[in-house]
Amino acid sequence: MPIKTAAIIGAGIAGLTAALALARHGIASDIFEQADVLTEVGAGLQISPNASRILDTLGVLDRLRSVWLEPEEIRLVSGSSLRPVASVPCGSFARDRWAAPYGVAHRATLQKALLHLVAGDALCRLHLGRRIDIKNKQALEEITGRQFDVVIGADGVWSKAHAMVPGAPAPLFSGNIAWRFSIEETAAPSVLSKTSVTAFLGPSSHLVCYPIRENATFNIVAIVSGSSASRHWGAAGNKTQCEQMLRGFSDWSGAILQMLEAQEQASFWPLYEIKEGRWHNGSDTILIGDAAHAMMPFAAQGAAMAIEDAFELAGMLSGRTPAEAFELYEKHRAPRISRLRQRAAFNRFAYHARGPIRLARDLVLSLRPPQSLAADMDWIYGYRAIG
């Protein structure tokens, strides 16, 4: 029989999107979140057309349009010489080519928009401060007094719901560390574009920055190779860790290096990924988003995949038994996730290239017109989720 109720573990982007998508099909949900208060994790967020199209369907995009920024282009720039390497147009071009906008915003802005709609939907109930060791869905039913047809684990790379899925994939340290910080527009070096997303490329490191319109800052993410496998995300890096970051950018432009040297309290984010493994138990529990397939951020699709997962799973659960929906979902989603993982790995290789490979990369990219590079993104940005 089709399901009527769902328990969702985690009130991040994946969990809140799942609740709204399920409600769209008349399915009630209880969302369990261990935090007492929902606060932002991370800072900036890129919302590509494949995700913004879904957010528009769910009524979320209306709450973002007035505050987010639609960048003019995505730029690739040499971190040492600051010479432009290539660019992909966005703005009106994205709307015309992919029939949906490309925007950047603070992660908290999207979370608040999702939360507002969840709070106003009678089919969604949010439970904060629920620190529970999840063994099975009966433990959740005892808390609410409601029986659940399915449990959706949307609680990130360190998912507690993994325990309910035999053979679920385990997190692995990727060998990369992200350093995140924001800088006021008035204090930012002139090499940072106020209208575009810019990826500065260098050997074994790269840096992504874009403006956050809501608070007049730049979101900065610097990624370097690292040996630390700490699970503590978002902590301020210590002196040794900050020195490690700076070594990864030692040959870069003085303007960028000076900006990095001033960020003694940059947040330290070891990057973990989840590879092959089971996404569901075949009966009543399934993992989505980072809980199922956390990947490296080199394709900027982590949040977008969480949104796609939530939307498509809800559609497949509508009118099917959980077992049927789960099998269909994994068969449908796994090839796309695998292809994106390969794309992220390729981008890492290309972004961090050295020597002759770097020179060849720059030459090839410089010879390709922006529209040609945009065509390479059609399978990502032009994707129309089934919901």
Identify the pLDDT of residue 283. 93
With beta carbons less than 8 A apart as the criterion, state whether 263 and 248 touch.
Answer: no
> Is the model's pLDDT at 234 over the cut of 70?
no
Identify the pLDDT of residue 247. 85
> Is the model's pLDDT at 240 over the cut of 60?
yes
Mean pLDDT score of the chain, rounded to an integer? 90
Percent of the chain with pLDDT over 70: 92
pLDDT tens track for 107-120? 999 999 999 999 99
In a domain, 188, yes or no: no
Q: Where does the pLDDT of residue 233 fall: very low under 50, low under 70, confident under 90, or very high at 90 and above?
A: low
In a domain, 37, yes or no: yes
Buried b / exposed e over 2-31, threshold 16 CB at 10 Å, is: ebebbbbbbbbbbbbbbbbbbbbbebbbbb
Identify the pLDDT of residue 136. 67
pLDDT tens track for 157-171? 999 899 899 999 889
Lowest mean pLDDT of 31-35, 130-134, 172-176, 356-360, name the range.
130-134
Tokens of 10: 């985690």
> Is the model's pLDDT at 177 over the cut of 70?
yes
Identify the pLDDT of residue 30. 95
> Can you tell me the mean pLDDT for 250-278?
88
> Can you tell me the mean pLDDT for 293-322?
95
> Can you tell me the mean pLDDT for 4-18?
96
Identify the pLDDT of residue 35. 74
Higher local confidence (pLDDT), 227 or 82: 82
In a domain, 288, yes or no: yes
> Is the model's pLDDT at 271 over the cut of 70?
yes
* pTM for this prediction: 0.94
Identify the pLDDT of residue 314. 98
> Can you tell me the mean pLDDT for 315-339?
96
Question: Given phi > 0 = left and psi -120 to 50 = alpha, else beta, which region is 12?
Answer: beta
> Can you tell me the mean pLDDT for 38-61?
88
> Can you tell me the mean pLDDT for 323-344?
96
Torsion angle of the four alpha carbons 344, 47, 374, 217, in this order, in degrees rounded to the nearest 10: -100
Percent of the chain with pLDDT over 90: 65
In a domain, 370, yes or no: no
Q: Where does the pLDDT of residue 25 fall: very low under 50, low under 70, confident under 90, or very high at 90 and above?
A: very high
Higher local confidence (pLDDT), 346 or 56: 56
In a domain, 249, yes or no: no
pLDDT tens track for 179-217? 888 999 998 999 999 999 999 998 888 999 999 998 899
Q: Among all chains, which residue has been given the structure tokens 């032009």?
A: 382
Identify the pLDDT of residue 51. 98
pLDDT tens track for 66-79? 899 999 999 999 99
For the chain, list the strands marked E by DSSP. 5-9, 28-32, 44-47, 73-78, 84-89, 103-106, 124-127, 150-153, 171-184, 197-202, 205-212, 217-225, 235-236, 267-274, 285-287
The domain that holds 134 is classified in CATH as 3.50.50.60
In a domain, 190, yes or no: no
Identify the pLDDT of residue 312. 98
**Number of domains observed in the structure of the chain:** 1
Identify the pLDDT of residue 93. 96
**Three-class SS of residue 275?**
coil
Identify the pLDDT of residue 146. 86
> Is the model's pLDDT at 41 over the cut of 80?
no
Tokens of 162: 């993994």
What range does the domain containing 302 cover? 5-69+105-170+274-349
With beta carbons less than 8 A apart as the criterion, state whether 313 and 18 touch.
Answer: yes
Q: Where does the pLDDT of residue 230 fall: very low under 50, low under 70, confident under 90, or very high at 90 and above?
A: low
In a domain, 316, yes or no: yes
In a domain, 123, yes or no: yes
Evaluated on CA atoms 87, 91, 97, 103, the torsion sign reads positive
